[in-house]
Amino acid sequence: MTTQDNMGKVAVLMGGRSAEREVSLMSGAGVLKALGDSGVDAHAFDPAERDLAELKRDGFSRCFIALHGRFGEDGTVQGALELLGIPYTGSGVLASSVAMDKVMTKRIWSAVGLPTPGWRQVSSAAETHAALAALGSPMIVKPAREGSTIGLTKVVDAAQCDEAYRLAAQHDPLVLCEQFIAGDEVTCPVLGTGDAARALPVIRIVAPDGNYDYQNKYFTDDTQYLVPCGLPEGEEARIQALVLEAFQTLGCRGWARADVMIDARSRKPYLLEINTSPGMTGHSLVPMSARAAGIDYPALCQQVLAAATLDNA
């Protein structure tokens, strides 16, 4: 049993160099305060400002990864911590890397029969036009390896394709075009590893004008988060089972959060992506879902930290 007393000196990795730096700093500040208030010897550590080798030199015994996006959620920091021999929260190198790449994630999910919207990987504006013809309108165009809806465009006609591709390609040369699913937008966290992993309550997201963008995610109070989700009977349990299978298929561990769209007509759920280092801000969804399951924010932070490990531990 891991307790506050034997967790040792803990680094909360926050900030970093990704496009999600601002959100990561907010997540990290919340985690740092919660762990400190719980008696954990926790310290902020920004990899954009300090060399990761200092973790070993300064005697840190485990890391809580509150980094989001590339250089934090994509297996790179996880690999460095493996080399340093310092246990860390969340998924290992391979699962982190795969989950960050939405195209690779879709390939794996599709290979085992898990539902995900139709897609095309594109490398030019011309291919984006071709994707719209194949997938139909509306279509989502986004960087394949970013989060927080950064660089995302909802394309409704061909006139938008050039600009949508340009915006996404600013953030990642790998651009994903995805069939748009009209219906309920939900998200579902998972806590634990292997057979002990369990899906937490589903949250239904109702954003202004259906636009759950970066601003509405983090900086306004206009978005509604419904827990209980209010879905028809049986749907929540089916989504929880689907998300748990998606988590385990990618080899994730510790915790994660999967985003799902439910087709309004067929009620079929479609997996969009899975986040292996979820947000922990005041607007974030994992703490909200955990609270509905009877786990408050400090207890959630402690539970995630207690599960910190290495790939070959």
Q: Which amino acids are annotated catalytic?
A: 20, 148, 218, 257, 259, 273, 275, 279
Q: How far apart are CA 284 and CA 301, in angstroms?
A: 13
- Kind and range of the H or E element at 56? helix 53-57
Cβ neighbours of 220 (radius 10 Å): 12
What 3-state class would DSSP assign to 53? Answer: helix
- Judge contact between 122 and 165, C-beta under 8 A: yes
Q: What's CA 211's distance to the chain center, in Å?
A: 18
Q: How far apart are CA 67 and CA 87, in angstroms?
A: 15
Indicate the pairing of strand 139-143 with strand 119-122. Answer: unpaired
Task: Find tokens 């969340």 and name the residue.
Answer: 90
Nearest residue to 140 (alpha-carbon basis) of 183, 101, 179: 179
Gyration radius from the chain CA atoms: 19
Residues 6+ apart with CB under 8 A from 228: 201, 236, 292
- Judge contact between 218 and 23, C-beta under 8 A: yes
Please give the backbone phi and psi of residue 19, each rounded to the nearest 5 degrees, phi first.
-65, -15
Structure tokens at 117: 């919207």
Cis peptide before 208 (omega within 30 of 0): no
Q: How far apart are CA 240 and CA 191, in angstroms?
A: 12
- Output the CA angle 52-58-64, nearest 5 degrees: 60
